[in-house]
Structure 1
Amino acid sequence: MTANNPKTTTSRRNWQMLKEEIRTPNAPLPLGSYSQGVRVGSHLYLSGQCGFEPESRELVSEKAGEQARQALLNLRCVLEAAGADMTNLVTVRVYISSDDDWAEVNQAYGEFFQHPYPARTTIPAALGAGILVEIDGIAVLS
């Protein structure tokens, strides 16, 4: 077992000391055992955000484009809490519950980014009740 290996234990402790949780009330606070964002060195890993309004925790709309806008606003708030902005994103994953919503989500997405765009993957996914879009990402900070 590696648990008793001093090198492994020291390495694990060093890794834990490098991780910094990013948390803001301006985006929906986690209901589970996860962080809104985690900074490790110059990298910021952002948990998936959906179209929930932060205070009410209600979906902003039944429309995919509006949910995408709110998800991106939520991501922006987490980025800002880390001293960053949308231009720091280098990759984004967009989960959509229906391919039929792609154009609407893509239009909303385009409102938040300019060239050079982050890399992006769009993934069809079974999301929770009423959730049409979830977006996560990775940012590089200076």
Structure 2
Amino acid sequence: MTREIIYSPQAPEPIGPYSQAVQAGNLLFISGQIALDKPSGQLVTSDIVSETKLVMYNLEQILKAAGLDFSNVVKSTIFLKDMNAFPKVNEVYGSYFKTAPPARETVEVSRLPKDVNVEISCIAVK
């Protein structure tokens, strides 16, 4: 099985010892993305809708770097600082999966990197 590191210059740099994504065979494993704006280097945490849109944008850029899009996503995980934000996050997230959405779990956690409110990871298949 081949293993390739996938990198998008349009998505934020990893903030630790990990890759944006790893392709293993026909599977793409994308690390959790937060609302870090690549051009400015700033976090966007002013409201959960804007934050979630930027997370999804970052995921999209990594998918594109692998030659994929959201239709290739088969599994995702959403980590939320506050489950009360779930309806708004779910609405934004759902707008990227109009048909045949992937399997998913959503988990409330006590803290996320850089104290963001949402982080999303996913697995895609070619």
TM range (shorter): over 0.9
Higher gyration radius (CA): 1
Of the three residues 109, 117, 121, the one matched with 1:132 is 117
Return 112-121 or 125-134, whichever deviates more: 125-134
Q: Residue 15 of structure 2 corresponds to which residue in structure 1?
A: 31
Q: Residue 112 of structure 1 corresponds to which residue in structure 2?
A: 96
* Structure 1: gaps of 5 or more residues: 1-14
Of the three residues 6, 19, 22, the one matched with 2:6 is 22
Once the two structures are TM-superposed, the CA of residue 129 in structure 1 deviates from its matched residue by: 4.1
Runs (4+) off by over 6 Å? none
Q: Residue 50 of structure 2 corresponds to which residue in structure 1?
A: 66
Q: Distance in 2 between matches of 1:42 and 1:135?
A: 21
| Larger RCO, structure (CA 8 Å, separation 6 or more) | 2
- Matching of residues 40-119 of structure 1 within 5 Å: 40-119=24-103
Q: TM-score, normalised by structure 2?
A: 0.94
Q: Sequence identity of aligned pairs in percent?
A: 35
RMSD: 1.2
Give the secondary structure class of the aligned counterpart of 1:47.
strand
* Structure 2: gaps of 5 or more residues: none
